[in-house]
């Protein structure tokens, strides 16, 4: 099953789209997703930080990913 990942801010600029679909075999954890994204888009590795959100919450590296989850890359936030 493929995995859809939403992109915001500078990560959208780097990848060039607001949603990327990772084909099977898709990453199964947050750590795998970050590693795969950085492999495909090395500029992501130059950011101050890049978190992953699963269903609107910040997710730890070992969090499992499922195709039904809402997944997003979260570059450094700058609200306020």
Partner 1 sequence: MTPHLAITDQPIDIAAALAAVQTDTAGAVNSFIGTVRNQSGGRPVRRLHYESYDSMALTQLGHVVAQAYEKWPMLQEVAVVHRKGTLELGDVAVVVAVATPHRAESFAACQFIIDTLKQVVTIWKREEYEDGTEWVAAHP
Q: Is 23 in the site for partner 1 (CB under 8 A)?
A: no
Residue closer to partner 1 (CB basis): 18 or 28: 18
Q: Is 48 in the site for partner 1 (CB under 8 A)?
A: yes
The correct pick among 10, 35, 63, 69 for binding partner 1 (CB under 8 A) is: 10
Q: Is 35 in the site for partner 1 (CB under 8 A)?
A: no
Q: CB under 8 Å, gap of 24 or more: what pairs does 45-51 form? A: 47/10, 47/11, 47/75, 47/76, 48/76, 49/75, 49/76, 50/11, 50/74, 50/75
Q: Is 17 in the site for partner 1 (CB under 8 A)?
A: no
CA neighbor of 14 nearest in space, from 49, 52, 40: 40
Which residues contact partner 1 by CB under 8 A?
A: 6, 8-10, 13, 46-48, 53, 56-58, 70, 72, 74-80
């Amino acid at each position: 099953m493929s995995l859809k990942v939403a992109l915001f801010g500078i990560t959208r600029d780097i990848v060039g789209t607001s949603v990327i679909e990772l084909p099977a075999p898709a990453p199964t954890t947050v750590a795998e997703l970050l590693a795969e994204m950085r492999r495909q888009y090395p500029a992501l590795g130059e950011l101050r930080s890049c978190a992953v959100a699963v269903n609107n919450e910040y997710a730890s590296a070992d969090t499992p990913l499922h195709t039904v989850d809402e997944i997003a890359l979260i570059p450094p936030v700058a609200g306020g």
